[in-house]
């Protein structure tokens, strides 16, 4: 649930759009607050800034891709926690 | 701290100043140049050397990059921490893994570019040309801006 919903919320981008997307997906929503809106905004901004920077042939390139994916999943879980009850 | 770590710290502070403060970046650039001169390397000249350009380009790209974090330059961080701490812990941990990976790669590139570098104490940096007793030196900062 976290992975799919997290992806959906990331694509939604804003707090209101994320809440609408979650509601459409049948997810119960938390009571809203301005703090939550900030959290969604900065988390989505962080997710969209995530991209590999190491050259493809660098020794750490594969580890970087795996680490970015783990980071993305943690950020998705955070987004879901902010929006869903 | 090793010399490579010292140079890495200076380069990162130059490229990624806290809250994007130009003054801090200017001061750290000055410190990095003093360090480079003192240990006999030339960071700027190395950028022009064809043989070292790919490595240096990679190094500079990495010093400009940090694992992006939700709280970077975000003034309400403590409020969000108190509200979402349980979910932020894995976020912090994942960001640290990525940041450690980039730090390791930067040190590898510094070693490939400059070999073993000595660590310079504050006194040695002062002897190499930092204005004693004035850190940060506002004249240096404003001359660079």
| Range A69-81 average pLDDT | 94
With contact defined as beta carbons under 8 Å apart, do B78 and A69 qualify? Answer: no
Question: ∠B132-B1-B120 over CA atoms, to 5°?
Answer: 30
Q: What is the pLDDT of residues A29-40, one digit of tens each?
A: 888 777 788 888
CA distance A71 to B125: 38
CA distance A18 to A78: 13
Looking at residue B141, its pLDDT comes to 86
pLDDT band at B51; cut points 50, 70, 90:
low
Asked if the model's pLDDT at residue B4 lies above 90, the reply is: yes
Token readout for B93 is 């941990």
Asked if the model's pLDDT at residue B137 lies above 90, the reply is: no
pTM for this entry: 0.84
Residue in chain B nearest A33 by alpha carbon: B83
Which range has the top average pLDDT, A72-76, B18-22, B75-79? A72-76
- The shortest C-alpha distance from B86 to chain A (Å) reads 9
pLDDT band at B46; cut points 50, 70, 90:
low
Binary contact (A70, B104; C-beta < 8 A):
no
Round to the nearest angstrom and report the end-to-end CA distance of chain B: 30
- Chain B positions touching A82 (Cβ under 8 A) are 84, 87
Asked if the model's pLDDT at residue B48 lies above 60, the reply is: no
Token readout for A48 is 């969209």
pLDDT band at A2; cut points 50, 70, 90:
low
Whether A38 and chain B come into contact, CB under 8 Å, resolves to yes
Whether B105 and chain A come into contact, CB under 8 Å, resolves to yes
With contact defined as beta carbons under 8 Å apart, do B45 and B52 qualify? Answer: no
CA distance A38 to A79: 11
Interface mutation target, options A2, A47, A54, chain B, most CBs of B under 10 Å? A54
Binary contact (B90, A38; C-beta < 8 A):
no
Instruction: Kindly tell me the sign of the dihedral angle through the C-alpha atoms of B87, B12, B140, B130.
Output: positive
Please name which of B38, B31, B35, B36 lies closest in space to residue B46, comparing C-alpha atoms.
Answer: B36
CA distance B100 to A56: 18
Q: What is the pLDDT of residues B113-136, one digit of tens each?
A: 899 999 999 899 999 988 877 778
Interface mutation target, options B103, B105, B108, chain A, most CBs of A under 10 Å? B105
Sequence-distant (6+) residues with CB within 8 A of A16 are A37
- The shortest C-alpha distance from A78 to chain B (Å) reads 5
pLDDT: which is higher, B76 or B29:
B29
Please, what is the average pLDDT of chain B?
85
With contact defined as beta carbons under 8 Å apart, do B52 and B113 qualify? Answer: yes
| Range B49-61 average pLDDT | 75
Matching residue, tokens 């004035």: B134
Among B residues 60-79, those touching chain A with beta carbons less than 8 Å apart: 61-62, 65, 67-72, 74, 76, 79
Q: In this predicted complex, what is the ipTM?
A: 0.88
Asked if the model's pLDDT at residue B94 lies above 90, the reply is: yes
Please name which of B66, B68, B11, B51 lies closest in space to residue B35, comparing C-alpha atoms.
Answer: B11
Look at A54-58, B49-53, B82-86 and tell me which has the smallest mean pLDDT.
Answer: B49-53
Whether B12 and chain A come into contact, CB under 8 Å, resolves to no
């Amino acid at each position: 649930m976290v992975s799919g919903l997290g992806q959906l919320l990331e694509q939604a981008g804003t707090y209101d759009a994320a809440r609408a997307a979650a509601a459409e997906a049948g997810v119960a929503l938390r009571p809203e607050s301005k703090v939550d809106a900030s959290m969604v905004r900065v988390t989505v901004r962080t997710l969209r800034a995530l991209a590999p920077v190491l050259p493809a042939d660098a020794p750490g390139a594969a580890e970087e891709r795996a680490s970015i994916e783990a980071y993305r999943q943690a950020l998705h879980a955070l987004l879901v926690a902010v929006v869903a009850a | 701290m090793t010399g490579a770590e010292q140079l890495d710290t200076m380069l990162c502070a130059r490229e990624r100043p806290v809250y994007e403060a130009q003054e801090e970046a200017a001061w750290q650039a000055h410190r990095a140049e003093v360090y480079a001169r003192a240990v006999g390397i030339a960071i700027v000249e190395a950028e022009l050397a064809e043989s070292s350009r790919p490595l240096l380009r990679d190094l500079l790209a990495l010093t400009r990059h940090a694992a992006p974090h939700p709280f970077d330059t975000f003034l309400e961080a403590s409020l969000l921490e108190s509200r979402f701490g349980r979910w932020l812990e894995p976020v912090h941990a994942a960001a640290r893994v990525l940041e450690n990976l980039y730090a390791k790669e930067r040190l590898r590139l510094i070693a490939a570019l400059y070999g073993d570098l000595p660590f310079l104490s504050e006194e040695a940096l002062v002897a190499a040309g930092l204005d004693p007793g004035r850190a940060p030196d506002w004249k240096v900062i404003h001359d660079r801006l």
